Every structure is written in structure tokens, then in C-alpha cells.
Amino acid sequence: MSETRSMEARTGRTNQRYGSKGERLVAGVVPLSADKTKVLMIQSSGRGGWVLPKGGWETDEGSAQQAACREAWEEGGIICTVHKDLGLIPDMRPSSLLTSNAPKASYQFFEVTVDREEEQWPEMHKRRRQWVSYAQAADALANRPELLEALNRSSMRR
């Protein structure tokens, strides 16, 4: 009945998709509670702050939506249903913050509802997850304008 989900998180960029200008294509989700009053955030693996699940769209994935749902599973341990494409969001980081490890990216986010939160997931040892209000999420994402933009494009209750 349910598809098998890998407990291995994908790593590396060998299968990474890039756009026409060489930008890294990143897919992500804004995971909302059924009543749209809470959003599920995950701990950033790098800086420890709270972020939305997202990651590179890979060449073996037919759609950004597929990639977004895989990232939601790997990073947040959630099974989700996509309701809305929130569109493309450009990378808003100043060029001084771009590096070979963090090249310019183009983000495509999807609004999803969380069907299930699994107890075990690929990145459970390096990330926690928590449900927060819009105000808490907006505060946590203040220094990540592209993620804040995704949140603001969603139909989450403010």
C-alpha cells in the first residue's frame, strides 16, 4: 500500500539539477497543520537555527514537487500532501555570501499538509522538528529571506 521510503539521506551534488544560468535548483515545503495555524520547522544541520525542509532537486526526480516531498521525509520525517505550488523564489543572498559550497540557487516551494510524522527518519540524529506559530516562524526565518518569502506565500494563518 505505501511506497518504501529510504532511511538513507541523499548526500552530495552529483545528481543536482541546475537552471539555465547555472543556479542550483532547490525544492522545499511549507508544512502546515490541518487548520493552518502551525508550521513544522526543522533544525538547520549547519547553523542550528530553524528552517523549512528543502534541498536540491535531483536529475532522477521527475518534478520539483517529488524532490520537495523527498526532502520533507529526509529532513523532517514527514509524509505530506502537496496543495499548492508557491512558485519560484530567487536567491536573495548578497554575492558576498555565495561560495562554491553555497552557490546561487533558485527555490521552488510547495504548501503541504502533514499526513504523518514518523518516529524514525533519515536525518533524525542531526535535526529536531517543532510546530510553531506564524510569528515564531517569521522570527526564526528573519535572516533567510527566501524561506520567509515561501512562508508568506503560503495560506498559513497569521
Tell me the domains of the chain and their CATH numbers: 24-153 (3.90.79.10)
Ranges of the chain whose pLDDT falls below 70: 1-4, 102
**CA atoms 123, 125, 126, 132: torsion sign:** positive
For strand 24-32 and strand 105-117, is the pairing parallel, antiparallel, or unpaired? Answer: parallel
User: If you average pLDDT over every residue of the chain, what do you get?
Assistant: 92
CA distance 6 to 134: 31
CA angle 70, 14, 22 (to 5 degrees): 95
pLDDT at 95: 83
Record the cell numbers describing residue 134, joined without a space: 506564524
